Amino acid sequence: MQSIYNLTRNKLQEYILSINEKKYRSEQIFDWLYKKRVRSFNDMSNLNINIIDNLNKDYAIDDIKIVKKEIANDVIKYLFELEDKNKIEAVIMFHNYGNSLCISTQVGCNMGCVFCESGKRKKDRNLTTSEMVLQILKVEQDSNIRISHVVLMGIGEPFDNFDNVMDFINIINDQKGIEIGIRHITISTCGIVPKIKDLINENIQVNLAISLHAPNNKLRNELMPINKIYDIDLLIKTVKEYVDETNRKVTFEYILIDNLNDSIENALELSKLIKGINCYVNLIPYNETSDDKYKRSKNIDKFMNILKQNKINVRLRREFGSNISAACGQLRSTN
């Protein structure tokens, strides 16, 4: 049986009309689900028996299970078990501007970035829209806090699950839904070019982050297999199109790995590559994983200063949860 959390309000309206009810009923149902957070259609007291009976017949109010919860300074990591016993992780990060939740979009990941723990397990399947929505609902319920920001930077490549991700964003941004501001939602992609173009056509003001991590094709091919399909020149060209069409700033994420992509030459090459783009660079100290081949850069300050000297907007990402394997690149689909 399909989860009710898979339905955007428009899709729910279509369903309500199909059972010969008024479409405003969809707003009432959204209110019960996302404002009142009820766990049974029978508790939706302002709905008539026809709607309740049909909802019980056609949809489920499903759930995900918290298997493990780890707490560190300004961060909580959740390990969830899905209905099919697969596992995913999500992380709350407490900022001075609000509470941000990093969610997963797939079980495993096929992108194969060599520095990332999440990709060690090949993709088993996409998460449904409901399984993404439930990460927020479950965290808010368990921690008794409101999530104000969402980043799609957990396990999986969001653009490899594009349609479900778009429905997820629709639901959490909906004023009748979870009501998270659209500019408080960030999608991170390793660079699936056709989906960046599709995002332009969606005409939504989300934040787009590009996992770049190298300033040239030779190095990026070594680190990120996706570059062999959509190389860095095509990626940058498409990002420029995105910026021009949407008038939105993009973020380039760059993990600094010792003696690999952190040299002065790399910094100069990166500066030249992205100069003139409405963007900023988010430098990320490498978080060590089960693969001890890669180490944290010792040249972070030098690299950052070169970017600044070349008039590139740059910041160093605040570190969260590396001591509980909750930091960038450390999430995985196991316990």
The catalytic site residues sit at 89, 328
- DSSP 3-state helix, strand, coil percentages of the chain (rounded to 5)? 40, 20, 40
Question: What is the number of helices (H) and of strands (E) in the chain?
Answer: 10, 14
In 3D space, the residue among 167, 89, 95, 97 whose CA is nearest the CA of residue 135 turns out to be 89
Distance CA 298, CA 295 (A): 9
Cα gap 23→10, rounded to integer Å: 9
The amino acid that residue 199 corresponds to is L
The vertex-255 CA angle with 86 and 68, nearest 5°, equals 30
Q: Nearest 5 degrees, angle CA 322-CA 328-CA 331?
A: 80
Q: Tell me the three state secondary structure of residue 43.
A: helix
Number of neighbours of residue 197 by Cβ within 10 angstroms: 13
CA geometry: angle 90, 117, 172, nearest 5 deg: 25
Output DSSP code: residue 230: S
- 306 vs 263: CA distance, rounded Å: 10
| 305/315 Cα distance (integer angstroms) | 10
Which residues have C-beta within 8 Å of that of residue 250, sequence separation ≥ 6? 208, 209, 210, 239, 242, 243, 277, 278, 279
